[in-house]
Amino acid sequence: MEDNTLLEEKKETIYQIITSQEYVPLKFKELCYLLQVQEKDRDTLLTVLDALIEEGRIIRTAKGRYQKLPADCFKGKFISNHKGFGFVRVDGADQDFFVPAGKTMGAYHNDTVLIRTGRPSSGKRVEASVIKILDRGLKQLVGTFRMKNNYGFVLPDNQKIDGDIYIAGHNTMDAVDGHKVVVELLHYKEKGKSAEGKIIEILGHINDPEVDVLSVVRDMNIPVDFPDAVMKQVSHIRDTVSDEEMAGREDLRHLQTVTIDGEDAKDLDDAITLYEENGLYKLGVHIADVSHYVTERSPLDKEALNRGTSCYLVDRVIPMLPHKLSNGICSLNAGEDRLTLSCLMDIDKEGHIISHKICESVIRVDKRMSYTAVSAIVEDHDPEVMETYHELVPMFERMLTVSDLLRALRRERGSIDFDFDESRITVDAEGKVEYIGPYERRRSNGIIEDFMLAANETIAEDFFWQELPFEYRIHEAPDAEKVKQLSVLISKFGFFFKASKENIHPKEFQKLLDKIDGTDCENLISRMTLRTMRQARYSPTCSGHFGLACKYYCHFTSPIRRYPDLQIHRIIKDVLHGKLDEDRIRHYDSILPKVSEDNSKKERRAEEAEREVEKLKKVEYMAEHKGECFEGVISGVTNRGLYVELPNTVEGFISVSNLYDDYYCYSDEEYAMIGEATGKKYSLGDSIKIKVKDTDKRTKTIDFVIAYEGDETVVKRKRKQAHRK
3-class SS string, 242-256 = CHHHHCCCEECCCCC
Q: How far apart are CA 437 and CA 500, in angstroms?
A: 38
pTM > 0.85: yes or no: yes
- One domain, residues 51 and 23: yes
Residue 676 lies in a domain: yes
Q: CB under 8 Å to 480, separation ≥6 — which residues?
A: 501, 504
- One domain, residues 372 and 248: yes
Q: How far apart are CA 195 and CA 182, in angstroms?
A: 15
Dihedral of CA 91/77/614/260: which sign?
negative
Tell me how crowded residue 21 is: count the other CB atoms within 10 A of its CB: 4
Distances (CA, A) of 387 to 373, 382, 391, 569, 631: 12, 9, 9, 38, 42
Residue 104 lies in a domain: yes
Query: Could you tell me if 621 and 650 are in contact, meaning their C-beta atoms sit under 8 angstroms apart?
Result: yes
pLDDT score, position 187: 93
Strands (E), 169-289: 179-187, 195-205, 250-251, 258-261, 270-277, 280-288
Query: Could you tell me if 145 and 152 are in contact, meaning their C-beta atoms sit under 8 angstroms apart?
Result: yes
pLDDT score, position 120: 59
Residue 545 lies in a domain: no
- One domain, residues 159 and 265: no
Residue 21 lies in a domain: yes
308 φ/ψ sector (left φ>0, alpha ψ -120 to 50, else beta): left
Strands (E), 414-501: 423-427, 433-438, 472-474
| pLDDT tens string 9-36 | 888 899 999 999 999 999 999 999 999 9
Our measurement of the distance from residue 544's CA atom to the centroid of its chain's CA atoms, rounded to an integer in Å, reads 19
Helices (H), 106-263: 211-219, 228-235, 243-246
Residue 544 lies in a domain: no
- One domain, residues 359 and 275: yes
pLDDT score, position 672: 42
Q: How far apart are CA 644 and CA 687, in angstroms?
A: 9
- One domain, residues 526 and 657: no
User: Which residues in the chain land under pLDDT 70?
Assistant: 1-5, 119-124, 499-502, 658-680, 709-725
- Least Cα distance to 128 among 61, 182, 178, 77 occurs for 77
- For residue 300, the surrounding DSSP H or E stretch is helix 299-307
Q: How far apart are CA 484 and CA 478, in angstroms?
A: 10
Tell me how crowded residue 91 is: count the other CB atoms within 10 A of its CB: 9
Q: CB under 8 Å to 192, separation ≥6 — which residues?
A: none
| pLDDT tens string 175-229 | 999 999 999 999 998 877 889 999 999 999 988 888 999 999 999 999 999 999 9
Residue finishing a domain among 135, 155, 171 = 135
Q: How far apart are CA 515 and CA 507, in angstroms?
A: 12
In one-letter notation, the amino acid at residue 269 is: D
Helices (H), 55-187: none
User: Which CATH number is 176's domain given?
Assistant: 2.40.50.700
> At how many degrees (to 10) do helices 299-307 and 563-576 cross?
130
Strands (E), 439-587: 472-474, 537-539
Report which DSSP code applies to 170.
G
- One domain, residues 295 and 395: yes
Q: CB under 8 Å to 242, separation ≥6 — which residues?
A: none
- One domain, residues 45 and 79: no
Distances (CA, A) of 114 to 69, 132, 134, 189: 10, 5, 7, 18
pLDDT score, position 122: 53
Query: Could you tell me if 113 and 88 are in contact, meaning their C-beta atoms sit under 8 angstroms apart?
Result: yes
What total of structural domains would you count in the chain?
6
Query: Could you tell me if 550 and 413 are in contact, meaning their C-beta atoms sit under 8 angstroms apart?
Result: yes
Residue 287 lies in a domain: yes
Residue finishing a domain among 14, 35, 68 = 68
pLDDT score, position 625: 95
- For residue 587, the surrounding DSSP H or E stretch is helix 582-623
Residue 202 lies in a domain: yes
**Cβ-count burial 416-449 (b if 16+ within 10 Å, e if not):** bbebbbebebebeeebebeebbbeebbbbbbbbe
Q: CB under 8 Å to 374, separation ≥6 — which residues?
A: 260, 396, 442, 444, 447
- One domain, residues 202 and 246: no
Q: How far apart are CA 164 and CA 193, in angstroms?
A: 11
518, 519, 523, 524: CA torsion to nearest 10: -160
Strands (E), 527-658: 537-539, 629-638, 641-645, 651-655
Give the number of C-alpha atoms closer than 13 A to the C-alpha of residue 259, restricted to the C-beta side: 24
Query: Could you tell me if 251 and 361 are in contact, meaning their C-beta atoms sit under 8 angstroms apart?
Result: yes
Q: How far apart are CA 234 and CA 231, in angstroms?
A: 5
Query: Could you tell me if 398 and 276 are in contact, meaning their C-beta atoms sit under 8 angstroms apart?
Result: yes
Q: How far apart are CA 142 and CA 197, in angstroms?
A: 11
- One domain, residues 345 and 468: yes
- One domain, residues 372 and 232: yes
- One domain, residues 605 and 504: no
Residue finishing a domain among 14, 33, 68 = 68
pLDDT score, position 667: 36
The domain of 502 spans 477-533
Residue 62 lies in a domain: yes
Q: Kindly report the backbone phi and psi dihedral angles of residue 42, in degrees, each rounded to the nearest multiple of 5, phi listed first.
A: -70, -35
pLDDT score, position 2: 44
Distances (CA, A) of 157 to 136, 193, 377, 599: 18, 20, 46, 25
Q: How far apart are CA 672 and CA 681, in angstroms?
A: 7
- One domain, residues 578 and 449: yes
Q: How far apart are CA 255 and CA 399, in angstroms?
A: 15
Q: Are strands 66-68 and 423-427 parallel, antiparallel or unpaired?
A: unpaired
- Least Cα distance to 448 among 357, 532, 332 occurs for 332
Strands (E), 646-700: 651-655, 671-673, 681-683, 687-696
